[in-house]
Amino acid sequence: MTASAIGYLVKAGLLVRLGGDVEYPEVHPEQVAALGRRRDLAVLLDRHVPLGPDQAAARLGVRRADWRQVVKLGWVSPVATVKVDDGRAAGGVITVPLYAAEDVALLPVVRPGVDWRAVRSAGRCRRSPLAALEPAGPDEDTIPLAEAARMARAERAAVADWRRRHSDFPTPVCGTTTPLRFDRQAVADWLLAHGKIAVPAPVGAVVVLVREAAGAQRTVRLADPVLALTDDADQMDRLTGWMTESDVEALALLQGQDGMTLQLAASGRSTMAVPAKARLAVREPPRQGWAYVELAWPGSPRG
């Protein structure tokens, strides 16, 4: 955790400032250690600590050139700026834009029509796949209910039902068109607030270790993972992402009536044991060799 991140967490009321500069405050190390042990630390950082352009590109898993295209398309806007002393700039100081980490992480969810795999796998010195897209004009970034359904990975009928049952669902911006169209960001905000979508985990992939009854292990890979941890011990923790057809078939054979014993490992992080038996469900049928799956297990109290 960086010194600047500490400053933002103090402003959010998650840490107590004991002294020092407002931007880089002094805090009690035991408070920081306790915060670091929270299971929802990644969520808190996403919610309260903005990212610079290089950090934003890394969080999204794309090159800096691709990130410039994201900004050019108007898909994200800075939430703040910071002045940085840079000897390469005239006068030695440059203004760096900062972006909300949640906005950055949600881009693949909010814009499901983009081939994010192609963007993330673009080779060095290759033109960004995003360069072929045109930015939407003012008030033109609108979507039909079918696109909202793609965001939430739900049926269109389910989204229509949400709109019917919830009075705070965004109102159409083009009331006379067929189909009705809604502001994309307003729909995304509503889906997030109502738990219909989740902020993707800040990792590029998760390795899932499955323990078989005989003690052997099988390793599978989950791409573009989204981890949603519940605050209710009666609900389920859920990890969703893309898995190859062959891995799905293998896990289906290993899954007993009580589920599977799993361990999760992400690049640069230690292995995490799932606290309860997990079950596998296919949320989208395989296409081009990949299926969208969900691993779910009973939640536990946050500490």
Higher-pLDDT residue of 95 and 271 is 95
Whole-number mean pLDDT of the chain? 82
Strands 290-298 and 261-266: unpaired
Q: Which of 70-84, 259-273, 277-291 has the highest mean pLDDT?
A: 70-84
pLDDT band at residue 67 under the 50/70/90 scheme: very high
pLDDT of residue 235: 81
Give pLDDT tens digits for 138-159: 788 999 999 999 999 899 999 9
* Stated pTM of the model: 0.66
Strands 236-244 and 290-298: antiparallel
Q: Look at residue 267 and tell me whether its pLDDT is greater than 60.
A: no
pLDDT band at residue 303 under the 50/70/90 scheme: very low
Higher-pLDDT residue of 169 and 3 is 169
Locate 203 and state its tokens: 């990792």
Higher-pLDDT residue of 275 and 119 is 119
Give pLDDT tens digits for 71-104: 999 999 998 888 877 656 566 778 889 999 989 9
pLDDT of residue 269: 53
Q: Look at residue 136 and tell me whether its pLDDT is greater than 80.
A: yes
pLDDT of residue 143: 94
Give pLDDT tens digits for 191-219: 999 989 988 766 556 778 887 656 667 78
Give pLDDT tens digits for 226-247: 777 776 667 888 888 888 888 8
Q: Look at residue 129 and tell me whether its pLDDT is greater than 80.
A: yes
Q: Look at residue 187 and tell me whether its pLDDT is greater than 90.
A: yes
pLDDT band at residue 165 under the 50/70/90 scheme: very high
